[in-house]
């Protein structure tokens, strides 16, 4: 059965990457220019009029919900080398640490930014705005990328909610690119080991569903950014050395996904909570460790006051790997191709 609204056979160029185990599929070609004077406006166009690209690449037969998509677009700010739009199972986050690490690596591997031995700096344009990138290259290999985390803060501290099937749950809420529920893994009976992944997902699903039934959260300058989509399980914090801490962690994305990495925004949220509790000072670092033993390092850089919120400045450091380069064919008569807006997006081959 054909899909009359879908385009004919077209081609997308992809560069698959991962950071900490989270696969970011970078769309490098095949998409026509998007309307919108900023990357944020272009993201909103995709969200409101052409969600078919996201569903196409995150659903069978082309992908799975655990992946992320990053669409490379020309920067609208002349200070940036490229723009990127992030797509995930929950929708269109304005920022993501792991996706930024992957996109920064991609622009270097694609030659959009010429690799330079040692340390180099450039900017990307995310839907949240400009992002400073520091890449470290040795022997032509991108060894690590450090990106800015969004200014992060604690909105709600130590709230208690009765969750069906679980009971009373104590949680804090941080903003770090999206609103995060932060919960103590030990209090919920978890050690944050790989065999717990399904149970962690089920637990987080119940908690986030209950939180979403409560009044929504509002950002101090952005206003309504949608329902709370993230939950971060926090393991105990150990002191590795003065100013350097480590904690097992797991991030959930609603509905139903436990991230392979600890996520950059999850790590930023943890830094915001540690600052709120008086546990860290500028220059201190937190290494978050995932169920798969992959790691990101967040650094608390400083503080600024935004209304009633002390907002922390932070960076996230990790490594991204290129794992595939491919073309995919989008068949317009395939009944599994979701079509919303695809005919307006895909450039003819």
Q: How far apart are the first and last CA of the chain?
A: 24
Under 8 Å between Cβ of 26 and 324: no
Q: Which of 96, 249, 290, 339 is catalytic?
A: 96
Strands 244-253 and 285-289: parallel
96 is catalytic: yes
Alpha-carbon distance of 176 to 154, in angstroms, equals 9
Question: Which among 269, 299, 266 is positioned nearest to 284, based on CA atoms?
Answer: 299
User: Strand (E) positions, 254-346?
Assistant: 257-258, 285-289, 295-306, 309-318, 320-330
Alpha-carbon distance of 298 to 286, in angstroms, equals 5
Under 8 Å between Cβ of 289 and 295: yes
Q: What b/e readout covers 137-175, taking b as 16+ CB neighbours within 10 angstroms?
A: beeeebebbbbbbbbbbbbeeeeebebeeeeebebbbbb
Question: Which among 274, 283, 20 is positioned nearest to 145, based on CA atoms?
Answer: 20
The token duo for 205 is: 């699903």
- Taking residue 128's Cβ as centre, other Cβ atoms within 10 Å add up to 20
- List, in order, residues 6 or more apart from 60 with CB less than 8 Å away: 336
What share of residues in the chain are helix, strand, coil (percent, to 5)? Answer: 20, 45, 35
| Residue 130: strand pairing partners | 125
* CA 275 from centre of chain: 22
Alpha-carbon distance of 106 to 220, in angstroms, equals 33
The token duo for 180 is: 């995060």
What positions carry a catalytic annotation? Answer: 96
């Amino acid at each position: 059965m054909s899909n009359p609204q879908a385009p004919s056979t077209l081609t997308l160029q992809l560069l698959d990457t991962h950071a900490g185990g989270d696969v970011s599929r970078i769309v490098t070609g095949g998409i026509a220019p998007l309307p919108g004077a900023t990357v944020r406006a272009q993201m909103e166009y995709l969200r409101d009029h052409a969600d078919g690209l996201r569903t196409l690449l995150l659903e069978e037969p082309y992908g799975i919900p655990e992946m992320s998509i990053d669409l490379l677009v020309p920067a609208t700010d002349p200070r940036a080398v490229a723009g990127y739009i992030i797509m995930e199972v929950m929708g269109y986050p304005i920022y993501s640490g792991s996706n930024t690490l992957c996109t920064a690596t991609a622009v270097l591997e694609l030659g959009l930014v010429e690799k330079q031995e040692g340390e180099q700096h450039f900017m990307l344009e995310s839907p949240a705005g400009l992002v400073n990138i520091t890449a470290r290259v040795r022997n032509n290999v991108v060894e690590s990328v450090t990106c800015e985390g969004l200014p992060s803060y604690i909105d709600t501290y130590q709230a208690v909610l009765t969750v069906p099937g679980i009971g009373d749950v104590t949680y804090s809420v941080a903003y770090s690119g999206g609103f995060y529920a932060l919960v103590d893994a030990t209090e919920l009976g978890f050690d944050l080991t790989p065999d717990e992944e399904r149970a962690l997902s089920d637990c987080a699903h119940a908690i986030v569903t209950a939180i979403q039934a409560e009044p929504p959260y509002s950002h101090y300058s952005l206003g309504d950014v949608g329902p709370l989509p993230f939950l971060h399980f926090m393991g105990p914090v150990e002191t590795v050395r003065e100013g350097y801490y480590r904690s097992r962690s797991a991030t959930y994305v609603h509905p139903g996904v436990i991230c392979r990495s600890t996520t950059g925004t999850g790590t930023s949220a943890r830094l915001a909570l540690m600052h709120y509790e008086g546990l860290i000072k500028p220059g201190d670092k937190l290494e978050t460790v995932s169920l798969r033993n992959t790691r990101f390092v967040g650094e608390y850089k400083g503080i600024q006051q935004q209304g009633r919120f002390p907002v922390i400045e932070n960076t996230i450091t990790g490594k991204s790997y290129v794992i595939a380069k491919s073309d995919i064919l989008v068949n317009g008569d395939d009944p599994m191709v979701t079509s919303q807006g695809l005919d307006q997006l895909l450039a003819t081959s």
